[in-house]
Amino acid sequence: MIAVLQRVNEASVRVDGQVIGQIGAGLLVLLCAERGDSEVVVDKMLAKMLKLRIFSDDAGKMNLSVQDVGGGLLVVSQFTLAADVAGGNRPSFTQAAAAEDGRRLYEYFVDQAQKAHPVVQTGRFAADMKVALVNDGPITIPMRMTV
């Protein structure tokens, strides 16, 4: 599983011109399930993400997690994170999970996140989304988890 975390002051996602997910300060999570991923990988990714200390404390050090600061999560599916550009000029997405597996793991991630964290908003799986954000820092953290 691949994720890109962006620490944001605010973020939103629109589908067909309508805002369907929006947070203030917190994390924009771009999420991609890969072939072979399972719920075990999702659980591991979410646990690490919620405890990752990338928010500043009073001294300006990155010592606080999204849970510590009460920030939101905006979770957006993005299969293009699995792009392989080694072969030519057109990216290959063969490492991305099949659509049904990707949807199942994305929905599982969102469900588990909502159980573990008070503010979770989402995009819409497989939709044409417009994502807006104000990156804070900027702090952008790529993550990859396997079993």
Q: So where are the chain's domains?
A: 2-134
Phi, psi angle pair for 138, to nearest 5°: -75, 140
Angle at which helix 99-116 crosses helix 39-51, to 10 degrees, equals 40
- Of 6, 18, 55, 79, which is the active-site residue? 79
121 is catalytic: no
Known active-site residue 79: yes
In angstroms, the Cα distances linking 23 to 8, 9, 61, 90 are 9, 8, 23, 34
Out of 22, 55, 67, 80, pick the active-site residue.
Answer: 80
Per-residue pLDDT, averaged over 58-65, amounts to 97
H helices of 1-147, in order, are 39-51, 66-69, 99-116
The pLDDT tens digits of the residues spanning 8-26 come to: 999 999 999 999 999 999 9
Residue 147, pLDDT > 90, answer no
Give the active site residue among 6, 18, 55, 78.
78
**How does pLDDT run across 83-93, given as a tens digit for each residue?**
999 999 999 99
- CATH 3.50.80.10 applies to domain 2-134: yes
Phi and psi at 88, nearest 5°, equal: -170, -155
